[in-house]
Amino acid sequence: MDEIKKPIYVTQPDLPDLQEFIPYLEKIWKNKILTNNGPFHQQLEKEMAGFLDVPYISLFANGTLALVTALQVLGITGEVITTPYSFVATSHSLLWNNIKPVFVDIEPEFCNLDSKKIEAAITSKTTAILPVHVYGNPCKVEHINKIAKNYGLKVIYDAAHAFGVKYKGQSICKFGDLSVLSFHATKVFNTMEGGAVVCHDAATKKQIDYLKNFGFVGETKVVAPGINSKMNEMQAALGLLQLKKHNLNIEKRSTLAQTYRKELQKIKGISFLPEPYNTKSNFAYFPIFVDKNKFGMSRDELYEKLKQNGIYGRRYFYPLISELTNYKKLNSADPANLQVAKRVAEQVICLPIYPGLNKKEIKKIAGILNK
Ligand SMILES: *Cc1c(COP(=O)(O)O)cnc(C)c1O
């Protein structure tokens, strides 16, 4: 196929050389340990904790089960304040725990949960805040921490987009009581499927590890109705190789993001997010926002036009979680309560960004936007 005509998707999962992976597979085939905290699982927990510079990490089969388990280990019940501007798994993890999501609007600068609006949503039933570092950009962690302290609430960050992000020189996963990562194929760091919970103390890690293995402590004792959400050895082995490539991948993404900024800055009616403050970004996504009046075309018209040209962006996040069947009847799902989120969800398109993309392709995308 003509290089320039092959479809460009919002992301393309990055994989190591297959040849590099074979020796890991041979080891698995030889020692017959496929899962249950095997040697690669243990090694990846250790190396990833070091790489991210966090004290404790527990690996999971995927990010959704990691979220569900994070809520359980802290004993979260009642109501949890969260954002409607996220992937549906954020709120689903609450429903899976019989917790009522309470939606609070986002702020327009980075599209994260608006910390200034959290307090007004707190009731006697509120037990926690579940914000999302949307697109990998840090939430207002200091403010959220202060509110949580004042009201005795727990904070669980959905950090599914934020692998490797640093804020004020520290891992973004060091903030809050727990942080949850996703290593799904579409994420910045992937183990095909996978996820993790980052915590701050050994006792909590132990509980998390029980919960991801049916609640088993040893061979015969079961301490909780845990689930099976263990990362297997193939995923962990892949993760070890992916870690080695991560820094280079982020550099490539950074260059591409800069190219987008340069190419798109003069297009009337197209805006993008500022660079986050005091942050080492992972450049996980490149969202643009279409102002129909100024651009002369709606977001959906542009989305279709890009598709016709072989560019498959994604409308992350549209529709809002609060507009979906299982959520729209909640009082907090009232669009009047979520005006910023509603506007942003109607304007956003995430453009393709991944290490295998090149500047020429970005210029082509910018060219389509410019026409
Ligand atoms: C991807 C994602 C999840 C779910 O992670 P999986 O590993 O796909 O289960 C949760 N929250 C957000 C914000 C995500 O983008």
206-232 residue pLDDT tens: 999 999 999 999 999 999 999 999 999
Backbone angles phi, psi at 318, to 5 degrees: -145, 135
Beta bridge partners of 21: none
Q: Domain spanning 245-370 has what CATH number?
A: 3.90.1150.10
The owner of tokens 């340990």 is 33
Residue % of the chain over a pLDDT of 70: 99
Summary mean pLDDT of the chain:
97
Non-local (6+) Cβ contacts of 172 within 8 A are: 133, 138, 141, 157, 159, 162, 165, 166, 179
Q: Report the helix count and the strand count for the chain, using DSSP H and E.
A: 11, 17
pLDDT exceeds cutoff 80 at 79: yes
pLDDT exceeds cutoff 60 at 39: yes
- 50 neighbors 187 (Cβ within 8 angstroms): no
Give the DSSP per-residue string, 164-175. T-EETTEEGGGS
Topology of the domain comprising 18-105+112-241: Aspartate Aminotransferase; domain 2 (3.40.640)
Mutational pocket test of ligand 1: of 71, 182, 192, the residue with most ligand atoms within 8 Å of the beta carbon: 182
Give 105 Cα–ligand 1 centroid separation in angstroms: 20
The amino acid that residue 269 corresponds to is G
342-369 residue pLDDT tens: 999 999 999 999 999 999 999 999 999 9
pLDDT of residue 6: 86
CA-64 nearest atom, ligand 1? 9
| Predicted confidence band of residue 1 (pLDDT cuts 50, 70, 90) | very low
* 93 ligand 1 Cβ < 6 A: no
| Predicted confidence band of residue 4 (pLDDT cuts 50, 70, 90) | low
Give 133 Cα–ligand 1 centroid separation in angstroms: 12
Mean per-residue pLDDT, 116-137? 98
Domain spans, the chain: 18-105+112-241, 245-370
pLDDT of residue 5: 72
Q: Give the 3-state secondary structure of residue 15.
A: coil
pLDDT exceeds cutoff 50 at 315: yes
The amino acid that residue 332 corresponds to is S
Q: Give the 3-state secondary structure of residue 223.
A: coil
Distance of CA 152 to the CA centre of its chain: 26
User: 277 vs 36, 253, 274, CA distance in Å?
Assistant: 40, 18, 9
Mean per-residue pLDDT, 171-180? 98
